[in-house]
A and B are shown apart, each in its own frame.
Chain A
Amino acid sequence: MSGPSRGDVDLDRALVPDSRPAPSRRRVLLGAAGAGAVGLAAAAVASAGPAFADTSRTAAAPAHDGGDTGHGSEVSGPVVVHLRDVRSGELDIFAGTTHTRLRDPDLASRLARAVR
């Protein structure tokens, strides 16, 4: 049976990516970062930039949800990172119509430092 209605997960593969134009400059939007373990960091970038490049080696294998665009390739729309837990390094990354969860304590701690 097709799964289009089931939380719309499978439908995402068929969806047109967000048609908003790509931001003209790299920018980082920082939101409510908690003082403790949990915070939110949102980055709108054209692709995975230098801030992320050198951390990929330490990241656990990411879990994908909702499509195969955006990971390891150019991303046309905003990329939003939700730092779920600084200690464990658990991050949610949203790009286009995809969601990727990964564990990267180094990146997590750097993001946390950036918002203090």
Chain B
Amino acid sequence: MSSHREAPEISKDPVADSTDVYAFVSPDRPDAVTLIANYIPLQGPAGGPNFYEFGDDVLYQIHVDNTGDGQADISFQFRFQTVLRDADTFLYNTGPIYSLGSQNWNSRQFYSVTCIRHGGSTTLGSGLACPPCNIGPLSTPNYAGLADQAVHRLPGGIRVFAGQRAEGFYVDLGSIFDLANLRPFQELHTQYGMHIFDKPAPGVNATAALNVHSIAIQVPITQLTRRRPHGVNDPAAVIGVWTTASRQRVRLWDADQAESVNSGPYRQVSRLGNPLVNEVLIPLGKKDLWNTLPPSDDKQFASYVTNPELASLLPPLYPGVFPNLAALDKSGAPRSDLEAILLTGLPSGIVPGFQNYTGPVLADMLRLNTAIPPTRKPHELGILGGDLAGYPDGRRVFDDVVTIELRAIAGATYPLVNKKYVPDAAATKITDGLTSRSVPSGYLKRFPYLGVPYSGFDTPS
């Protein structure tokens, strides 16, 4: 998955497990960037009576680097607190919830937003209400309207939302984790001699009926860049974005009080910038370490990006389908295309009219050129589809990052750094067979852009 359960330790700590990060110039407000960090993966909508919520003991952050050193110049911190109206009922709600102030809503969550800028701290908002989870038509009637009440306006033209959303990331997990047996090409898979599949099949979206918890903040561009940018080629137009979750160093189970006791400094336990980096590129033995480090320390992981294991697996898994990729792998040439896309950004002159280069520091961040306006008719393959406003120029909620990264790893982007290289025909076709239309909830055209979460009543399993 993008980053759902991607490392051994964080897979045991869902409330601190970042799943996706998005950063894009807001289509309905092009002077502002929207940043979204998703947590708590794979939520079954009917998962009550203790429905999903952010961790009160987790420090969530969205970071922005506007100087290209892989360290945060601006961090937005989000801290949550759960409040019970009545501790003597087992119910999440005792009647319909028509508003965020409803007396029928028992287990509520509030949060604060703090901006850290060059070491200084400013509280942007506190006591901000999250919406409830989407339970069903009797408990949460008119859920969309209820969630709209949880879009808060903060000083400086900032908007914020934190709460449940429909999972917007689409992926055929079942096929990918079954030895990369992509259904649209399954008849070409080696199948280890079992001859199970003799024709292609459509992809299956494993996240189609699942929810996630989103932290979304919309900030005027000029508050994120180091100065007002002067056009696409201005280095100041590019920002790097990632999210982290941190926990205090000590956590004890106080059996006398039946509660956890937390103490000590916060330490990072989860990190996410580009989708699928820790998931697919970093080896098992280093995933937990990767999660504890800032992007500025990513040089030590660069070899896993420039020599990706998956690129070496595709040719033997699909015999005869990727001969050029096999030769490229065999040559030992580093995949400088992947390094540029994931760790430095693309300099000017590679893709006409585009750059999101942040300098030589190797750092996994989503890199967004804030001077590129939103596309009126976006292409979900982003730059691969000729749409400069899509991934890897930041990431929009509907971008098909699985297909984009599969094709990049398969060699489709290697001509960016070596014009003599001819990608295999399959490299421009490989996909897990899904598109943004595979997401039943769809997406919103306005903040917070991710769709209305699936309700427990309508999605019981």
Contacts and interface: CB of A to CB of B under 8 A. Distances in A.
A44 to B, nearest CB: 6
Chain A: interface residue count, which band?
Answer: 35 or more
B266 A8 contact: yes
B327 interface: no
B267 A19 contact: no
Given A5-B72, A27-B256, A99 B261 contact: no
Contact of B75 (A5, A23, A29, A65): A5
Contacts of A98: 264-265
Nearest to B126: A16
A2 B250 contact: no
The dominant DSSP class at the A interface is loop
B69 interface: yes
Contact of A6 (B248, B249, B252, B296): B296
Interface residues of B, number: 41
Interface in A96-112: 96-99
For the complex, would chain B's binding face be called helix, strand, loop or mixed by DSSP majority? strand
Contacts of A99: 249, 264-265
Query: Which one of B69, B254, B295 has the highest number of Cβ atoms from chain A below 10 Å of its Cβ?
Result: B254
Nearest to A42: B252
Given A15-B266, A80-B250, A97-B266, A5 B71 contact: yes
A67 interface: yes
Contacts of B118: 2
Contacts of B61: 4-5, 8, 11
Interface of A: 1-12, 14-16, 18-20, 23, 27, 29, 31, 42, 44, 65-67, 77-80, 82, 94-99
15 contacts: A1-B67, A3-B71, A3-B119, A4-B61, A5-B242, A8-B59, A8-B244, A11-B59, A11-B61, A15-B266, A23-B257, A42-B250, A94-B249, A94-B265, A95-B264
